[in-house]
A and B are shown apart, each in its own frame.
Chain A
């Protein structure tokens, strides 16, 4: 055979071999990834009822010791209990794993009574030992999120008997008194995590630490537990055989992760999933509204977007560790200027343009979704409306006049820096499209009141560095506060200011008001809930009027679901809330979800060309390859 023919045969066989081995590897490898079907002992004749939902986000970890993203919580809700839960209706306190609490007269010692009728999904009973162990585990290991709710506890939590735990705090506090569901700590199985701490992970994972343990499969006390998961792909939860509560109507919960919102929306439309979580683009949300059999909900969540104004990193009082640093514009230390800026921003227009109307214009630092009774809303005279003229008058009257006619006001003659034009650095984040979208509007409005801004897009980390260094004037960011207002209010105390230009801390507007700090301590210790809310309301009013942040809007959680497959959603709060009841311990929604009709809850069908056609195609390709090879061989036989 000639060299050319050898070459062609070589190529042909490589091709055929590649295809064949690809198919074989696929079949073999494929079996590994899909793994077991999670034997839950279901009725073999009834078809499995599977609730499938998806989003374009990803989980950071399914282990409450190290997870910190909102999405992670949706996998803890069906399997782990909280001591005190957030009521589905209105986020008020509801006893859950704990049935009551005894508070010592000095409000520094707390004794919780724990239920005794629960069993983990591997048959071990749940006792107060699990509770004490879990809280100590979080606290002593600096578990990212749960740790925060335990910082005031002095020493360890102790299980005094099988149904009681006790702990003491450094200062008297209302937060553990059962008034509010503050301890957002999912209770974990001691018998599993104790072994993990010693280095024995149930699945043989290595290295094995409390934080690196992937918690798949998991052991939960709720109606479901995690049977299998593939990072970035899917999570599958199956029924807990030891669950004694109300019988769920679904057999499995499957979560699918998508890369982008388009794919997510397409999947919902095609019926591949039943529920789409967090469709971040309002445009996509809109396009789903008119689809048959799909309901959309722009749910409220505790989230706010804010316009951060540097109230004085270079001028604030030097208390605690704080040293003046940075170079924020002195005009922003004046509440009048900040008020004028606030008046110049039309939150409603921003909501309409950037969110196509789905967000809520911002007012107080505490979002509408918060612990029942905590939020304060300005009313009547208190409301600061969009008013360009009023803002102009305010600035004019305070001495910020445009002396050189260039359209930009300057600082008054009796100020720290007379004559300096009101030109501010305005930072947006390159990864958050809404900050970029809002910028042209805000820039124009500020120009209308004589303030010039230079907009710059930076990455999230860079902005963090800039804020710590105090080298900014205006910045657009967002916060995800806890349901209990204590956390959010704590972001404005003097001690929370980034101290030295390099270290991180939460008070990124450098707000410092001793009166406010005092009130913060007071509300923490106030045991009478109504009185506490009074103080909390006053604090919000102070912040609303002093404007270290101009709260721009409360973003919506855009969700959509099929109405022809499942029903029984539990929106939290009741009106316009997240149908999957995102803030809960054992969410009621997982017990109430049921197929709309017989067979409507079956697992998703696969799409595409059926197997028969594929086999035909493969055969066809093989035939072509063979023909080509044979023809060449015939040609090659003739010699030159």
Chain B
């Protein structure tokens, strides 16, 4: 398991920092102003991002895997996942021309398993993170914005959830709720929100005190307006960077839960493939081709997300922008 706190300057060269500039005082619609500023910001972010080699490597690898997931039907025949398919070969064969990654115990091509396994793995990673970030952001903004009693209660709650060891809790929930992809998504989502909440809260605190927010409040803006129009967009970039890192962790978590037998056994993800390989005794039988490809796929995808996340964090995290 990995804590998401390992952020910072993963890069080799110190990137040039960027500062958010306040909107120019031009009489256009407020909405247009905001969007112009945001798109300029985004362009600047991209320009800076492009300069970081590791960030670009991460992005390219990521795009590659997403493409594999999206274009899976074109790369490997889906029927190859069905053990009854006549397209299966001899069971447990090492890599050959016909089966570049060898076959599993049903004679299915491990390449097919790995290619199609990208879908559930990425889907779980993505959706679990969405849930986690949604909860974390709401909790963090409410805590940071309202302060006082709500903040204390929510932050206590966050601390408590941080204390409860992640994997045992996830195992218990997954075994209670049953083996399905949906359950895994929910379990990872509701056990990993605290880190987002913490970050969002401290950021909300600082944004809350900025001049334009004070001005808006003085003008009579309500809570909803302030949080959604001012706090959220400022917290947004930071959440985004953290989100990318969380996806990596969510994918690793799904793999671990699947390996322990808590995943959805009827789906083919990298985690369930590893679990089936291990419980079928691939390790002692020396059938490394069944174990290595899904594992490497996980490593590269997680690495890709991590690199992108670090690159974004470098650029978007206000704490790191001081130089």
Task: Spell out A's residues near B (CB within 8 Å).
Answer: 260-263, 265-266, 269, 279, 281, 283-284, 286-287, 353, 356, 428, 430-431, 433, 436-437, 439-441, 444, 455-459, 462
Contacts and interface: CB of A to CB of B under 8 A. Distances in A.
A260 B84 CA distance: 28
Which has the most chain A C-beta neighbours within 10 Å: B106, B265, B283, B286? B265
Contact of B179 (A265, A286, A458): A458
B260 to A, nearest CB: 11
Given A284-B281, A287-B285, A459-B175, 10 more contacts: A262-B278, A262-B283, A265-B285, A287-B286, A356-B91, A430-B261, A433-B265, A437-B83, A440-B84, A459-B178
Given A283-B92, A287-B281, A440-B84, A433 B179 contact: no
Interface string B173-193: 001001110000000000000
Interface of B is mostly: loop
Given A283-B285, A284-B285, A441-B84, A430 B265 contact: yes
Nearest to B82: A440
A262 B281 contact: yes
Nearest to B92: A283
B105 to A, nearest CB: 6
A439 B281 CA distance: 21
A446 to B, nearest CB: 12
B83 A353 contact: yes
Residue among B105, B106, B261 having the largest count of chain A Cβ atoms under 10 Å: B105
A266 B286 CA distance: 11
B117 to A, nearest CB: 16
Contacts of B82: 440, 444
Interface string B54-95: 000000000000000000000000000011100000011000
A392 B91 CA distance: 31
B282 interface: yes
A291 to B, nearest CB: 11
A353 B281 contact: no
A261 B281 contact: yes
22 contacts: A281-B280, A283-B92, A283-B105, A283-B280, A283-B282, A283-B287, A284-B280, A284-B281, A284-B284, A287-B281, A428-B265, A430-B178, A430-B179, A433-B279, A433-B280, A437-B83, A437-B106, A440-B82, A440-B83, A444-B84, A457-B265, A457-B266
B151 interface: no
Give chain B's interface residue range (CB within 8 Å of chain A). 20 to 34
A83 B296 CA distance: 59
Interface in B266-315: 266, 276, 278-287
A462 B178 contact: yes
Contacts of A437: 83, 106
Interface string B84-128: 100000011000000000000110000000000000000000000
A441 B266 contact: no
Contacts of B106: 353, 437
A102 B75 CA distance: 76
A203 B178 CA distance: 42
Contacts of B282: 283
A356 B107 CA distance: 12
A262 B264 CA distance: 23
B37 to A, nearest CB: 46
B281 A283 contact: yes
A219 to B, nearest CB: 39
Contacts of B266: 428, 436, 439, 455-457
Contacts of A433: 265, 276, 279-280
A284 B264 CA distance: 24
Most-contacted residue by chain A among B84, B264, B266, B281 (CB, 10 A):
B281
A431 B278 CA distance: 14
Contacts of B265: 428, 430, 433, 436, 457
B83 to A, nearest CB: 5
Contacts of B276: 433
B232 to A, nearest CB: 40
